[in-house]
Structure 1
Amino acid sequence: MPMGRLLITGASGYLGQRVAYFAQQTTIWNKIYSQSWRNPALAGEHVACDLANQAQLQALLDRIQPNAIIHTAAVTPAMGAAMTNEALWAVNVQATATLAAWAAQHEARFVHVSSDAVWGGRDTAYTESDVPAPIHPYGASKAAGEALVEALNPAAAIARTSLLYGQNPLDPNTTMALAMVRGERDGALFTDEMRCPVFVEDVAQALLELAQQPRLYGIFHLVGPQILSRFELGQALLAWNGIDSTGLPAGNTSASGLRRPSRVVVDNRATQSQLSTILRSIDDVTRR
């Protein structure tokens, strides 16, 4: 039986596009609303809304009355100079709080997408119960968003992700590695910055599964089971796309002088035991 109206925020973003696409492939939802601040071609009915405008966001929620919300929208480092402290606060914190509170008040399912950037790195893996300890503004904004969701909507699901990759369209990590190996972009991929990259389609499917399962609440780790450095990830993604990675520049965080999370290994075993969606390793995905 169809479950009602689904709102996907950030539907023009890399993850949001795939969530909207897969939502459209099912008969689970009576209506799918794809939110973005502009009007691109999106799956579902597009609803324009500036999430930094809290009055506009509240009006949108009251108008469409969603039964479930998957909140993928965020201000991220990929936005460059547009990632100001004001933008981080308005979207990653205030808009998240507005969505979480509205969903709680209207008994709507709320699934919030967070990030492994809530941590600064350590030798041992992070589990769902580890307390966030961010070391930069983006991570701090995501940690604040998580805390507000937990306080305002205890029945919500908070899904932490890591580096996303995919082919349709190419993900930002592949695009960056490709530009570097072609000499079109300066910089290097770090060999000492470890992550658990995850296939964007697996994350999209897992988010839709969480949206359909109100019994699942709290923290979930939607990450891959394989640990790779950013450099190793770049090599793997180029190989997957049939591109020679010779000449891909390598570096390390200590030499860069940048303050960045180093080894952020996220354990997904507890999450995987509760989901039917398989969060695959990059080796499994690229061999298919």
Structure 2
Amino acid sequence: MARILLTGSTGQVGFELRRALALHGELICPQRSQFDLSQPQTLAAALDAWQPDIIVNPAAYTAVDKAEDEPQLAHAINATAAAVLAQWAARHDALLLHYSTDYVFDGDKDGAWREDDAARPQSVYGHSKWLGEEAIRASGCRHFILRTSWVAGVYGQNFMKTMLRLATSRDSLSVVADQFGAPTPASLLADVAANLVGRSRINPAQPYDTYHVAAQGRTSWHEYASLVITLARDAGWALALAGSPQPIASSAYPQKAKRPANSQLDCDKLMTTFDLQLPTWQDAVRQLFQTLDNARKP
């Protein structure tokens, strides 16, 4: 069986990857104390000891605003560590599957972002993730880079859970309405990764490249929040919020790091290359909400 090293196995995507990758090989899920991406100089020795055939790397520094004050740490985890993983994979003919982000783009495009659009990150976080991508591509290793956006899952904290918590405790709520994208389930990201890993095990001559993976369609944070709250109200949740959230401009909610105004990702390349179908953002939100709703029932 393949030996699969999974970083960040306790994170939102890592939690789902443990399930999705279990049938594809022996999973190695080190704790941070055993494999600390903030200390890139220690990683090669650990990889030499474990000798993975496949490295799956969802771990990242994702505190977008905090990264503006901790650029060295963000770059160590998101760029330098990614380079170490890629260089080791190239030397040992291992496969590297790495996750990246819509933040590599400036957000100023009208339509959905394609993989070959110019990257112009506007934040330390986005820049660090872009450098990580570039290092992987430069290494020559077999790799899949999966860019995604607005990740939400059953495990960990995310926007959907925040909206549900606030709607049960506040009678008013304001949500940004001029930033656009698509919420993407962590389970979908894990299932796509498992599909690609499975293909590479059957036939190593795959079209290794950078691909976009996100739920289909386009929405705003406000529209997303409104759907979540409607679903909760219809399911009988006791909400303090009487109506819908109030839409506000992003300028009314200043943040240290600049967010892309348009995060919509064009996923045609992935779907065409691998004959995959991706759900609409509405279906993705409904499915995730249903899972959360079921989990709270006795």
TM range (shorter): 0.7 to 0.9
1: CA distance between counterparts of 2:88 and 2:264? 33
Cα distance in structure 2, aligned partners of 1:79 and 1:262: 16
Instruction: Say if 1:112 and 1:99 are closer, same or farther in 2 by CA, change over 3 A.
Output: same
Q: Of the candidates 158, 174, 179, which is equivalent to residue 193 of structure 1? A: 179
Asked if 1 retains the 8 angstrom alpha-carbon contact of 2:56 and 2:97, the reply is yes
Question: In structure 2, do the counterparts of structure 1 residues 66 and 133 end up closer, same or farther at CA, with 3 Å as the change threshold?
Answer: same
1:75-114 alpha-carbon deviations (Å, 9 max, x no partner): 0126857971121111001100000110011000111100
1:47-90 C-alpha deviation (Å, 9 max, x unpaired)? x3211112321121011000001110000126857971121111
Secondary structure in 1 aligned to 2:100? Answer: strand
Larger radius of gyration: 2
Which fold has the larger relative contact order, with Cα–Cα distance below 8 Å and residues 6 or more apart in sequence? 2
Q: Which moved more, 1:8-17 or 1:188-197?
A: 188-197
Q: Secondary structure, in 3 states, of the residue corresponding to 2:116? A: coil
- Answer whether contact 2:99 2:145 (CA < 8 A) is retained: yes
CA contact (8 A) 1:9 1:73 kept: yes
Q: Name the CA distance, whole Å, in 2 between partners of 1:239 and 1:35.
A: 40
Q: Map 1:235-246 onto structure 2 (within 5 A).
A: 235-241=226-232, 242=235, 243=237, 246=243
Q: What is the root-mean-square deviation in Å for CA atoms of aligned residues?
A: 2.5
TM-score by length of 2: 0.83
Aligned pairs (5 A) from 1:1-288: 2=1, 4-24=2-22, 26=23, 28-29=24-25, 31-37=26-32, 48-77=34-63, 80=66, 84-121=70-107, 122-153=109-140, 155-166=142-153, 168-169=154-155, 171-183=157-169, 188-212=174-198, 213=200, 214=204, 215-241=206-232, 242=235, 243=237, 246=243, 248-258=245-255, 259-285=258-284, 286=286
Distance 1:154 1:251 in 2: 45
Match of 1:274, SS state, is helix
Aligned residues: 273
The one-character-per-residue Cα deviations of 1:8-41 (angstroms, maximum 9, x if unpaired) are 11111100110112222x2x21x10113316xxx
Percent of pairs identical after alignment?
A: 25
SS of 2:85 mapped into structure 1: helix
Q: Which runs of 5+ in 1 are unaligned?
A: 39-47
Higher mean C-alpha deviation, range 235-244 or range 156-165: 235-244
TM-score by length of 1: 0.86
